[in-house]
Amino acid sequence: MYEAILYEPMARQAVRCTACRIRCVIKPGGAGVCGVRQNKDGKLCLLVYGKASAVNIDPIEKKPLYHFLPGSRIFSIGTIGCNFACSFCQNWDISQRARTLREQLMKEKHIEDIGLEVGQYGYELPPERVVKLCLEKKVPSIAYTYNEPVIFFEYLHDISTLARQHGIRTVFMSNGYESEEALDLAGGYLDAMNIDLKSFRDAFYKKVCKARLQPVLDTIQEVHRRGIWLEVTTLVIPGQNDSEAELQDIAGFLSSVSTDIPWHISAFHPAYQMKDPPRTSRAVLEKAYDIGLAAGLKYIYLGNTEDDQRSATYCPGCGAALIRRTGYRTWMEDIFNQGQCLRCKTQIPGVWQ
Ligand code: SF4
- Residue partners of 3: CB distance under 8 A and separation at least 6: 43, 44, 45, 46
Q: Are 169 and 140 in contact (CB under 8 A)?
A: yes
C-alpha of residue 201 to centroid of ligand 1, in Å: 23
pLDDT of residue 132: 98
Domain with CATH 3.20.20.70 in the chain: 197-311
pLDDT of residue 104: 87
**Torsional class of 50: left (φ above 0), alpha (ψ -120 to 50), beta (otherwise):** left
pLDDT of residue 209: 96
For ligand 1, whether the C-beta of 85 sits within 6 Å is no
pLDDT of residue 95: 85
Which residue's CA is the nearest one to ligand 1's atom 1?
151
Closest ligand 1 atom to residue 44 Cα is 3
The DSSP bridge pattern shows strands 229-236 and 190-196 to be parallel
pLDDT of residue 116: 79
Residue among 148, 246, 233 nearest 195 (CA): 233
Q: Are 119 and 49 in contact (CB under 8 A)?
A: no
Residue among 60, 94, 67, 107 nearest 297 (CA): 67
- DSSP 8-state symbol, 212: -
For ligand 1, whether the C-beta of 210 sits within 6 Å is no
Closest ligand 1 atom to residue 81 Cα is 2
Give the phi and the psi of residue 316 in degrees, each rounded to 5: -70, -15
Closest ligand 1 atom to residue 153 Cα is 1
Which residue's CA is the nearest one to ligand 1's atom 4?
17
For ligand 1, whether the C-beta of 34 sits within 6 Å is yes
- State the CB neighbour count (10 A cutoff) for residue 287: 16
pLDDT of residue 98: 82
What number of residues does the chain have? 353
C-alpha of residue 21 to centroid of ligand 1, in Å: 8
Inter-CA distances, 330 with 60, 69, 103, 256, 266, Å: 10, 11, 43, 29, 18
Task: State the Cα–Cα distance between residues 168 and 139, nearest whole angstrom.
Answer: 8
Residue among 193, 152, 188 nearest 171 (CA): 193
The DSSP bridge pattern shows strands 123-124 and 51-52 to be antiparallel
pLDDT of residue 112: 86
**Torsional class of 238: left (φ above 0), alpha (ψ -120 to 50), beta (otherwise):** beta
- DSSP 8-state symbol, 279: P
C-alpha of residue 83 to centroid of ligand 1, in Å: 6
Residue among 195, 191, 2, 184 nearest 84 (CA): 195
Collapse the DSSP code of 237 into the 3-class scheme (helix H, G, I; strand E, B; otherwise coil) and give the result. Answer: coil
C-alpha of residue 309 to centroid of ligand 1, in Å: 40
The CATH architecture to which 197-311 belongs is: Alpha-Beta Barrel (3.20)
Task: State the Cα–Cα distance between residues 190 and 169, nearest whole angstrom.
Answer: 7
The CA dihedral of 23, 185, 115, 44, to the nearest 10 degrees, is: -60
**Ligand 1 mutation pick, 39, 84, 151, max ligand atoms within 8 A of CB:** 151
**Ligand 1 mutation pick, 17, 118, 144, 181, max ligand atoms within 8 A of CB:** 17
C-alpha of residue 42 to centroid of ligand 1, in Å: 16
Low-confidence ranges of the chain (pLDDT < 50): none
C-alpha of residue 111 to centroid of ligand 1, in Å: 15
pLDDT of residue 238: 95
C-alpha of residue 33 to centroid of ligand 1, in Å: 6
